[in-house]
Structure 1
């Protein structure tokens, strides 16, 4: 997607919406400029995150289907554990735990935002938003507290380049020196994880891409796509809540999941 200079500057400012607390303007700007030159071929580095770090994380071995209901209307999401096993596994695990039920979409940048903006993202998944008395200004700072550890579960950044056997972990494609497009790209309807400037800081917050956002490719982990109900996503407004989220297919492919 080609953007005019003014549109680009606006997106540099609003891309901070994908970050949790702690992003500085410079860090936001840096994360908004991935190298999208896919023609060159670069050897893909080995996985950097240790097996010890990853072994206890939920993993999705294949694909699953999640139906998320907002204002009584379903959004069907295909979750891709083939190309993003840890990121997809984390999402499916949180769905099965009921973490997303009742949570707020705390950031909407698009036609339904106030004032209306160019279509960008709808973001939610902060567990703090389940409390109706929690300050809306502080939403976007929370993640899933794992009852087994008492600490916030954070998953490594996971991006699989086209033609690679395994994903790259804990680094953006640009910082890893990879000039290939990721397998899972930010096309309209993509579902991806929000994070801070630290690569391995994603927890429970996710976003829907309201348009093709190729400048995010290689910087944020896409793990699925909307296959039905994009019209529902387009109508989401800031403050709307997730009625429920259920795994309808593929729950048997989740390993190391909770309840």
Structure 2
């Protein structure tokens, strides 16, 4: 999960008109087998023959897969193919059809379906889908309050999902009515289901409704997830046995005294937050400084030393100087990154100059302060370092003189034929476009046919601006990797995996081929080839996600050569689920994330391809730099993708 590069705010998919779809479908028919349906979904709507056949088949399983595929195309002209299935005999098909309309952001009046729909799961999906449409916020909010009073717990859960989604999207501009807020508060008190309560509390958070009585009820819940959200909503301090609740309390209501008391918490997430807070809150009292001194000593764990060094640099620079110099020579490169960050706070140019020559690219990124260092970094094959160099050169007064190095760096990354290296190439292209000279104008025209449509489009924008004439990219659509064969998919439906974490233990996974067949195939292919072995978790966000699987231990170095397509749908970003990190639609590059809590707001936007079935407590222990030692996959005993 990454921030989008500003110039690349566009989809890499393809628009498919209803007329084009009809023309393709008129060609020779393709049987609506499960395999052909999955292949048609992978083609992103360029061949609808098997999908059209499945829609007319009367087979509920194939109809559901076909409808799901259309929803994933996110192309509104295809809406008419879905709406007839809203009255399908099978509730599973009707539910998928409603979800598909939500996925394509249809304006279809799904609320009207409530009058005739009796199946609780379908009704729940109708309410959830209403919340994904920010239009007519007041009307939809009223409908959702009706759903919160439904006699079915399943329906109420769907209404809670819809309410959270709607208020998250609209509450800042359209405040919910007092009646709506009263209904939400009452629903928190009357519903005991953990997910429903969390969603309702999150809806209150979006509306900035910090009703103390409702928070008090939620703080007594048996679920730590509910208590965590209640603490965040109420911004209240509690002592709690659950680490996720303690972390949240310290995050929203931490004081110097509370942080000092939790520096040695049994949860490293909590302990590291406590150390950070001592610096962020400028805690210079004797107890706080003594705690930081203790954690900064050489016999402390490197993460404690590193975080303590940064905090000491904020509150007691004189105490921090020697510690930072010692940390700069650590054999753990992640510790040297923290040394660079602390050295910047101390304005320690000597340490920064030394670290800017470090052999580890991520250390160089942290230590980079000069133009000369950025130009030197342009020779690196590390995507994150090249991106940092290009970013450092933004607005440089002599950028024109750097154009040869910038073009050479872009060409070097392009020559790898790894389309998934979008981030560094986009940043380099942005600098080239910013100061393009005559040779660069000629060079930019070659980029119009880049295999990445986002890069081609950006080149067209820069040429249009420079020449004053509209220039169109040659590449309009990304060509995805070839769809796997039947044999390559064999045994993935029902497959499991074991992820061995060095020094921590084994985590057992159930792979969700039913929801994300291509993501599972890619993950299994990479794991079976040992591509994850030795890679780390580089991004740790307590009470959110951990992310890893980058050869460069950063956000920007991909593990796959091509982009992965999204497979969003009904799978939830629940605690313990694995997903694919992206930089926008259909741009996964093999990096994975694990949900540490229920992250409802990620649903329908990120592909979920696996769930932890054993060792979730080990996932909670993962910290920055922890290593994926190996991943062992066990395929199911079947010769082909199972026919449901």
After superposition, the Cα gap between the structure-2 partners of 1:254 and 1:89, relative to the gap in structure 1 and judged at 3 Å, is farther
Contact 1:68 1:246 in 2 (8 A): yes
- Please give the alpha-carbon distance, in whole angstroms, between the structure 2 residues aligned to 1:41 and 1:243: 40
Going from structure 1 to structure 2, the CA distance change for 1:195 and 1:51 (only over 3 Å counts) comes to closer
Match of 2:549 in 1: 125
Structure 1 residues 41 and 73, CA, compared in 2 at 3 Å: closer, same or farther? closer
1-structure distance, mates of 2:522, 2:590:
8
* Paired residues for 1:19-98 under 5 Å: 19=2, 22-23=4-5, 38-40=125-127, 54-56=482-484, 59=489, 61-70=492-501, 71-98=503-530
Q: TM-score, normalised by structure 1?
A: 0.60
> How much has 1:83 moved relative to structure 2?
1.6
TM-score by length of 2: 0.25
The equivalent residue for 1:102 is 534
Aligned length, in residue pairs:
177
Secondary structure of the residue aligned to 1:89 is: helix
User: Which moved further from structure 2: 77-86 or 57-66?
Assistant: 57-66
What are the residue-to-residue correspondences of 1:7-26 with 2, within 5 Å?
18-19=1-2, 22-23=4-5
Q: Does 1:203 align with 2:290?
A: no
Q: Distance in 2 between matches of 1:221 and 1:124?
A: 15
Larger Rg: 2
CA contact (8 A) 2:509 2:611 kept: yes
Q: Point out the structure with the larger helix share.
A: 2
The answer for unaligned runs of 5 or more in structure 2 is 10-102, 106-123, 130-476
Distance 1:105 1:232 in 2: 13
What is the aligned counterpart of 1:157 among 554, 557, 566? 566
More strand by share: 1
* 1:213 matched residue in structure 2: 599
Three-state SS of the structure 2 residue aligned to 1:195 is coil
TM superposition shift of 1:72: 4.4
Counterpart CA distance in 1 for 2:628 and 2:513 is: 23
In structure 2, the CA distance between the partners of 1:97 and 1:253, relative to structure 1 (3 Å rule), is farther
Gaps of 5+ in 1: 1-17, 28-33, 43-48, 111-118, 130-138, 146-151, 160-181
CA RMSD of aligned residues (A): 3.2
In structure 2, the residue corresponding to 1:90 is in which secondary structure? helix
